A and B are shown apart, each in its own frame.
Chain A
Amino acid sequence: DTEVTQTPKHLVMGMTNKKSLKCEQHMGHRAMYWYKQKAKKPPELMFVYSYEKLSINESVPSRFSPECPNSSLLNLHLHALQPEDSALYLCASSQVIGGKKAFFGQGTRLTVV
């Protein structure tokens, strides 16, 4: 199984809503990542987890709150987002942190209204 599964695929939320994005992998990878991608731009790193601990936070606003409940799961909790936060949110994993081969999920296309 070389898949990273993300749910939901699409999400529309209001600026006062609270929602969560979910990511799951069963490859035994110990590093998991959240990226944000705007249209026609490269993926932009947000968070990195290594062995279920937050290792890197790329100065992401606190309205984005990551969580790693176990080695297979990664969540991104969203609260009080802005319309400019609308983007494709990609989860990825690699064997270890800074791995040379990352597997990406299909992403959640988020629209904030």
Chain B
Amino acid sequence: GQQVMQIPQYQHVQEGEDFTTYCNSSTTLSNIQWYKQRPGGHPVFLIQLVKSGEVKKQKRLTFQFGEAKKNSSLHITATQTTDVGTYFCAMNRDDKIIFGKGTRLHILP
């Protein structure tokens, strides 16, 4: 069935460096959502993207939806220790919310 592939699986960055995670689909998506899950926590909704080529910013986080609505990215500028966690993209399919495998971000002090 339709899935979203997310890369990389893990990322270690030095504090202050930038971080990007990518989400790709083989088919056109109606929308894409991003969630963050802190270690020991639960997924927290960050944003949804609906329009082709859409770019949204939340402070140091920049979210993009591809022109063909088949890919998306989350970019964090100047990472901080509070950014630690797993970032999931998610898609809607047949009334379900289906998650990508996630990118686990580890920050080196």
A residues neighboring B (CB under 8 Å): 33, 40-43, 45, 48, 50, 55-56, 88, 90, 92, 94, 97-107
Chain B residues with CB below 8 A from A55, complex form: 95
Q: Are A50 and B95 in contact (CB under 8 A)?
A: yes
Bound-state Cα–Cα, A88 to B102, Å? 16
Q: A107 vs B42: C-alpha distance in the bound complex, in angstroms?
A: 7
Number of A-B residue pairs with CB-CB distance less than 8 Å in the complex they form? 58
Once bound together, how far apart are the Cα atoms of A94 and B35, in whole Å? 14
B: interface residue count bin: 20 to 34
Q: Are A100 and B42 in contact (CB under 8 A)?
A: no
Task: Decide yes or no: A100 and B31 within 8 Å by CB, A42-B88, A42-B100, A106-B41 being known contacts.
Answer: yes
Task: Say whether B73 faces chain A, with CB atoms less than 8 Å apart.
Answer: no
Q: Which of B48, B96, B99 contacts A42 (CB 8 A)?
A: B99
Contact partners of B92 in chain A: CB under 8 A: 98-100
Q: Which residue of chain A has the shortest Cβ distance to B97 in the bound complex?
A: A102
Q: Nearest chain B CB to A37's CB is how many angstroms away?
A: 9
Min CB–CB distance B85 → chain A (angstroms): 12
Mostly, the B contact residues are: strand
Q: Tell me the smallest distance from the CB of B76 to a CB of chain A, in Å.
A: 19
In the complex, the answer to whether A48 meets B96 with C-beta atoms within 8 Å is: yes
Q: With A33-B97, A48-B95, A50-B95 as given contacts, are A101 and B43 in contact (CB-CB < 8 Å)? A: no
Contacts of B104 in A (CB 8 A): 40
A97 near B98 (CB under 8 angstroms)? no
A104 touches B44 (CB 8 A): yes
Please state if A94 and B95 are interface contacts (CB–CB under 8 Å): no
CB neighbours (8 Å) of A105 from chain B are 42
- Cα A99 to Cα B43 in complex, Å, equals 15
Q: Is A56 in contact with B95, judged by CB distance below 8 angstroms?
A: yes
**B75 interfacial contact with A, CB 8 Å:** no
B33-45 Cβ-contact flags toward A at 8 Å (1 or 0)? 1010000011111
